[in-house]
Amino acid sequence: MIPLAVFETVIDASGAAARIEAMLPAGVRPRQLKVRTLLAGMCLAQADHRPAHLTRVHQALTSLGEDDQRRLGVLADWKHGPHLLTYRQTERTFGLLAASLAKDEPDGLPSGDLAGTCGSLLEASVPDEFKDASTSLAVDWTDLETFSRPPPARGGDCADPEASWGHRKNNLLRSEDELFYGYYLSACVMMPDENGPAVPELARRATLSSCRHDPGRALVPVLTCLPPASRSRTSCPIPATLTATSPPGPSRCGPRAPGSSRTSTPTIAAPKAHTKAPSSATATCTAPRPRAHCSSSGRCRAAPHRKKPPRTTPGPPRLPGTSSAASPATIPTATTASPARPPRARSAARCSRHR
C-alpha cells in the first residue's frame, strides 16, 4: 500500500486542494473535513483496492493513526471533547466539492475545472526525473460501468442520468459485442521513444465521458492541455469501428495544391448512435481507405467502364429465292419489342365441345 505521505506530497504539489477550497462557500462554522483531507482519503481508498464508495473513504480516514487523524482534522477537539469525523460530514464536504466542479447543465463530459483538477493531480504524481524522459504517449480507452441501474424501458429517470448505453468487447468472438450502461474511461500513458531508453508507463492524463460521446473527441481537450514536450508524439489507437474522415482539403490520392501538406490527420466523426468503441487495449490505428480512382498512382486505377451496345431487333426474315442485291438494306431499329404473333384461330370442334 502507498504511504499517506506520498499522497499528501502529490496533492500539495498540484495545488488542487487550495483551488477547490477557495471555490467552496464559507459557512458560519468552519468545516471539520477539509478538501485536502478528503482527496487524501479518496487516494487511500483506491490504493487499498477498495470500491469507489464514499463510505470507503470515511473508513480509510477513520482507520488512520491518532496522530494522522489529529493532523488531518479527522479527530478534532470540540466543546464537549474530541469528535471523530462522521459520514455525514464526509458527505457534506464531498457534495460541495462535486457541485463546485460540475457543470450547470450536465452533458456527460467533465467541466474545465474538473478536467484541470484531475490533470494537475496526475501531472504532480509523475516524478521530476521522468517528466521530460519521453515525448511519446499511448492513448486508449476502456468501458466503465456506472453504479446506477439503467433507466426503465418504459421511460423515466435513474440515479445516474449522465451515463448512457455503450458497446464493449468482452472476450466475444468475431464482431460480437455487448451493451453496458456507463462511461468510457480514457487514459494517456508515457511510452519510450523510438530507439530510446525505457521509461515507466506513468499516466499523464485521464478523462471520463459518457458513452453517447465519441471518446476520441472527448480526449482531444485533455491532450492539448499536456506540456509541449509531452504531446509532441502521441500514439492514439483509433478503433476500426469508429468512422475516420479526413478534414476538408486536398485528397491524399489527388494532385497536391501549392503549399499543402502531403499527409492529412484523420479526425474521428461523431457517432449518430451509440459508440461502438472496443474496451481492449490492443486496438490498432486505421486510416480511411483510399478511393477507387487515383491519379497519382497506377495501382489504384479502376478498370475502364465498358459501355454496352444498344440492343436491336433483326429485320424481317427474307423469303427464299430472293437475292440480297434486289432486296433493300434493312435498317436496325432501336426498339426491343419482338414482332407480335398472329392470334391462333379457334377450331369449331373445340368451341362446340365447350358449349
pLDDT in tens, 118-137: 999 999 999 999 988 888 88
Q: Is residue 333 part of a domain?
A: no
Which tens digit of pLDDT belongs to each residue from 205-238?
Answer: 999 999 999 998 998 888 887 766 555 444 454 4
Q: Is residue 330 part of a domain?
A: no
Query: In this structure, are 125 and 223 located in the same domain?
Result: yes
Q: Is residue 317 part of a domain?
A: no
Q: Is residue 276 part of a domain?
A: yes
Q: Is residue 253 part of a domain?
A: no
Count of domains observed in the chain: 2
Pick the more confident residue, 328 or 69: 69
Query: In this structure, are 144 and 276 located in the same domain?
Result: yes
Mean pLDDT value across the chain:
74
- Who's near 341: CB < 8 A, 6+ residues apart? none
Query: In this structure, are 17 and 119 located in the same domain?
Result: no
Task: Using alpha carbons, list the distances in angstroms from residue 202 to 83, 192, 215, 222, 273.
Answer: 39, 11, 20, 16, 33
Residue in this structure with the C-alpha cell 442520468, named with its chain if needed: 161
Q: Could you tell me what percent of the chain has a pLDDT over 90?
A: 43
190, 200 Cβ separation under 8 angstroms = yes
Query: In this structure, are 85 and 10 located in the same domain?
Result: yes
DSSP 98: H
Query: In this structure, are 119 and 77 located in the same domain?
Result: no
Last residue of a domain, one of 286, 314, 346: 286
- Specify the pLDDT at position 306: 55
Last residue of a domain, one of 259, 286, 313: 286
DSSP 299: G
Of 348, 175, 352, the closest CA to residue 278 belongs to: 175
Query: In this structure, are 68 and 210 located in the same domain?
Result: no
Query: In this structure, are 239 and 193 located in the same domain?
Result: yes
pLDDT tops 80 at residue 243 = no
Q: Is residue 88 part of a domain?
A: yes
Query: In this structure, are 129 and 273 located in the same domain?
Result: yes
Which tens digit of pLDDT belongs to each residue from 8-25?
Answer: 999 999 999 999 999 998
Query: In this structure, are 39 and 180 located in the same domain?
Result: no
Query: In this structure, are 48 and 96 located in the same domain?
Result: yes
Measured CA to CA, the distance from residue 16 to residue 97 in angstroms comes to 11
Q: Which of 31-35, 151-155, 195-199, 338-342 has the lowest mean pLDDT?
A: 338-342
H/E stretch holding 203 reads strand 203-210
Which tens digit of pLDDT belongs to each residue from 303-338?
Answer: 555 555 555 545 545 544 444 444 444 444 444 444
H/E stretch holding 7 reads helix 4-14
Q: Which of 6-20, 33-47, 200-214, 274-288 has the lowest mean pLDDT?
A: 274-288
Q: Is residue 225 part of a domain?
A: yes
Query: In this structure, are 129 and 224 located in the same domain?
Result: yes
Q: Is residue 349 part of a domain?
A: no
Q: Which range of residues forms the domain containing residue 85?
A: 4-101
Query: In this structure, are 134 and 183 located in the same domain?
Result: yes
Measured CA to CA, the distance from residue 285 to residue 242 in angstroms comes to 10
| Phi and psi angles of residue 221, each rounded to the nearest 5 degrees, phi first | -60, -30
